[in-house]
């Protein structure tokens, strides 16, 4: 086993202390966090991802070892692969496809798994192998299986785990199928965002077991962490915990470029009306209102092109037909112009969802949840599974 260097130890201690202070890290995971240093799992070139701006900055161990070391123990996500490995070079690629997740997110997800000794865990999305290493340190290697779709990422994770002296089972397969050979699991943790919960995950989790996954609709790239408990009838249900954003499961990525071809001519034959809803009311990244609109308005993707705080154009695209809507917001003008085209009046649906949300006192995300049936279909609810979310 490679022991943490003195410098690793100090930086790791500092990170653990700050995560303990914030409550993300619980005392039972603190020793594991110190013993399994994140730096051991990182390649020599990483991209530090700025959550506020969405920009990625390359950090090379060879060129600036101290900056690399600082990044390893900073509470930021580090991209480790672009474009499924097709991109090379120092500059960021188009789509980040593997990473070492943000330490506070990793710690809080381990806390939310609520694990005890002897449990069996399946992780979907091995990535660098750091999280699999943390799990294996706490539970012992024989209790942990981690699956990764990318062969070269799998190899790097296996090598890093070996260096760290940890031996979870790491399998190079598509995580949509889980890993039936190791089932049943007490816990399934996805460290990759999903748009549909694969039925295999339900089949492979024991009744009473927990599935923790970043789930979302195609409304935006945001995910909310959902904590599902398996019922005896093969379904699972549970509440959302908080907003997160993960790279998406390979087969469930939305190709946002397709919307460039969605509207042949603007405004074409669209119906034109107006609204008093403001751009701010539609919510920003990580605001629950935006996520709740996605829960209420099914199969609808949206993009906002902002000019400033109050002005810009919001686009809404039906995923199943050519229906679309666009709303132009102008700073200082109370009325925004609405264009709607196709069989669905998408903006009317969005406005109804917004009205429902304000009429219910702007409820926070943790008051919503989902039931996932054995076939994988997802049914959102408000406050309790009996209160299905259907906004008329």
Ligand X SMILES: C[S@@+](CC[C@H](N)C(=O)[O-])C[C@H]1O[C@@H](n2cnc3c(N)ncnc32)[C@H](O)[C@@H]1O
- Give the binding site for ligand X (CB under 6 A): 97-101, 124-128, 130-131, 147-150, 153, 174-176, 191-192, 246-247, 249-251
Let me know if 120 is exposed, middle or buried by CB neighbors in 10 A (0-12, 13-18, 19+): buried
Beta carbon nearer to ligand X, 71 or 101: 101
97 vs 323 by CB, closer to ligand X? 97
Cα(103)–Cα(144) distance, integer angstroms: 20
Closer to ligand X by Cβ: residue 49 or 315:
49
The nearest distance, CB 311 to ligand X, in angstroms, is 34
Q: How far is the CB of 383 from ligand X (least distance, A)?
A: 31
Q: How far is the CB of 333 from ligand X (least distance, A)?
A: 42
d(CA 222, CA 211): 19
To ligand X, the closest distance from the beta carbon of 216 in angstroms equals 15
Of 43 and 385, nearer to ligand X (C-beta) is 43
Q: Is the dihedral of CA 277, 279, 280, 285 positive or negative?
A: positive
Name the catalytic one among 101, 220, 288, 341: 101
Alpha-carbon separation of residue 218 from 60, 289, 317, 365 (angstroms)? 34, 15, 10, 17
Active site residue 101: yes
Q: How far is the CB of 141 from ligand X (least distance, A)?
A: 16
Phi, psi of 118 (to 5 degrees): 85, -5
Pairing state between β 96-100 and 121-124: unpaired
* Residue among 124 and 301 whose Cβ is closer to ligand X: 124
Q: Tell the smallest beta-carbon distance from residue 150 to ligand X (Å).
A: 4
Instruction: Return the axis-axis angle of helices 130-139 and 103-113, rounded to nearest 10°.
Output: 40
Neighbours of 55 (CB within 10 A): 11
- Nearer to ligand X among residue 191 and residue 288 (C-beta): 191
Nearer to ligand X, 82 or 316 (CB): 82
Residue among 375, 113, 143 at smallest CA distance from 241:
113
The DSSP annotation for 132-188 comes to HHHHHHHH-GGGEEEE-S-HHHHHHHHHHHHHTT---EEE-S-GGG--GGG--EEEE
Q: Considering only the C-alpha atoms of the chain, give the largest distance between any 2 of them, rounded to a whole number of Å.
A: 68
Instruction: Report in angstroms how near the CB of residue 123 gets to ligand X at its nearest.
Output: 6
Which whole-number Å values give the CA distances from 307 to 141, 260, 312, 330, 347, in the listed order?
A: 51, 19, 5, 9, 20
Query: Residue 376: which region, alpha, beta or left (left: phi > 0; alpha: psi -120 to 50)?
Result: left
C-alpha 44/C-alpha 58 separation (Å) is 10
Peptide bond into 212 cis (omega under 30): no
What are the catalytic residues? Answer: 101
């Amino acid at each position: 086993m490679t022991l943490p260097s003195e410098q690793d130890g100090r930086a790791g201690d500092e990170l653990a202390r700050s995560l303990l202070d914030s409550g993300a890290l619980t005392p039972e995971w603190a020793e594991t966090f110190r013993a399994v240093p994140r730096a051991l799992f990182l390649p020599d070139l990483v991209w530090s991802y700025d959550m506020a701006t969405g920009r990625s900055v390359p950090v090379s161990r060879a060129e600036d070892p101290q900056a690399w070391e600082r990044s390893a123990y900073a509470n930021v996500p580090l991209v480790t692969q672009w474009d499924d490995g097709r991109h090379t070079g120092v500059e960021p690629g188009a789509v980040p496809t593997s990473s070492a997740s943000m330490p506070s997110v990793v710690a809080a997800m381990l806390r939310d798994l609520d694990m005890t000794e002897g449990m069996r865990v399946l992780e979907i999305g091995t990535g660098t192998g750091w999280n699999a290493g943390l799990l294996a340190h706490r539970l012992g290697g024989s209790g942990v299986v981690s699956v990764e779709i990318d062969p070269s990422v799998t190899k790097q994770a296996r090598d890093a785990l070996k260096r760290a002296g940890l031996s979870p089972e790491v399998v190079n397969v598509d995580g949509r199928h889980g890993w039936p050979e190791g089932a049943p699991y007490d816990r399934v943790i996805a460290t990759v965002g999903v748009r549909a919960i694969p039925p295999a995950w339900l089949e492979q989790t024991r009744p009473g077991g927990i599935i923790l996954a970043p789930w979302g609709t195609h409304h935006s790239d945001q995910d909310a962490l959902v904590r599902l408990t398996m019922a005896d009838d093969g379904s699972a249900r549970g509440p959302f915990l908080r907003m997160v954003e993960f790279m998406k499961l390979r087969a469930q990525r939305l190709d946002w470029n397709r919307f460039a071809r969605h509207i042949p001519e603007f405004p074409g034959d669209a119906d034109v009306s107006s609204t008093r809803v403001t751009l701010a009311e539609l919510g920003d990244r990580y605001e629950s209102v935006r996520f709740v609109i996605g829960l209420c308005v099914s199969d609808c993707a949206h993009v906002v092109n902002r000019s400033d705080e109050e002005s810009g154009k919001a686009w809404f695209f039906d995923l199943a037909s050519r229906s679309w809507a666009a709303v132009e917001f102008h700073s200082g003008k109370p009325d925004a112009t609405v264009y709607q085209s196709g069989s669905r009046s998408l903006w009317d649906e969005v406005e109804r969802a917004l009205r429902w949300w304000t009429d219910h006192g702007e409820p926070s995300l943790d008051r919503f949840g989902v039931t996932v049936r054995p076939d994988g279909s997802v049914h959102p609810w408000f406050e309790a599974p009996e209160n299905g979310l259907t906004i008329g």
